Amino acid sequence: MDIMGINFTKMHGLGNDFVIIDALGENFYLDRGLVCKISDRKKGVGCDQVLLLRNSDVADAEMVVFNSDGTISEACGNGARCVAKYLANKESKFEINLLSGNRILHCDIQNRGFVTICMGNPEYKWDKIPIAEPVDPLNLDLHFEDNLGNIIFNPIALNIGNPHVVFLVDDPYKIDLEQIGPIIENHALFPKKVNVNLASVLSRSSLKLRVWERGAGITLACGTGACASVIAANYRKHCDKNVEVTLPGGKLNISIDDNEKIFMTGPAEYSFSGNLFND
């Protein structure tokens, strides 16, 4: 596909950065090679994910999420906040409904550039996460050792629109996530690969988190990872239902209501806009 003349907007949520391409009213799609070219931080615009906006009959827009390696992801929490803010400004609205994968995300634009999104309910069924065999996803018999001799074990797997595995650890920064992340991401137990979360419980209302994102690697923040980690810590009775999650790029607030719906609140910031062209 020729990229000449395609407008884009660069945004980020806590440093998790995106190139948004608005194809509403247009008729084009992105192939894997073009996504990789756009995502390249040395030769392209540079981003963790490319977000393509398309027309939807059931929402204000459909958001198609491409990882920086060109693969498609079913969900992206930080990206959804950025797209919601982009569409809200474009359409002068304070509420946006966004189709992402098989979920409709209800997004509310708050003060000071913050966005709250109802991320829906977590999925625990092994074949829906998905996991390759019928095991208990809330008590996985898995352990991994990094190059430094750190062992992580007994994670929880769940789906928050995309698959996650959460390890509760003492300090996520002492573990070589760059080395161990891709090993877990590509483990045979996860047929669609998996996002890897290392979460440390600081208090009943606070977590510290690092994430290896499927198809993107280590990012400064991951919204669905924050949601998954709070669900996992709450299930293990380590934290309550309203938790501040500190990631390398900043903080997200994650809350769980009585129906186990997950709400994520955090910032969405503009970086710059431009036009894609071939040399």
d(CA 230, CA 17): 22
Sequence-distant (≥ 6) Cβ neighbours of residue 214 within 8 angstroms: 67, 71, 73, 162, 163, 185, 193, 194, 195, 196
Is 107 a residue of the active site? no
d(CA 125, CA 143): 21
Three-class SS state of 242:
strand
Is 239 a residue of the active site? no
Contact 214, 194 (CB under 8 A): yes
- CA dist 74 to 71, 80, 99, 104, 275, Å? 10, 11, 10, 12, 26
The separation between CA 155 and the C-alpha centre of its own chain, rounded to angstroms, equals: 19
Tell me which amino acid residue 82 is.
C
Q: Please identify which of the residues 76, 82, 107, 227 carries the catalytic annotation.
A: 76
Sequence-distant (≥ 6) Cβ neighbours of residue 245 within 8 angstroms: 206, 207, 208, 209, 226, 229, 230, 251, 252, 253, 254
Q: Please identify which of the residues 36, 82, 107, 222 carries the catalytic annotation.
A: 222
Q: Which residues are marked as active site?
A: 76, 222
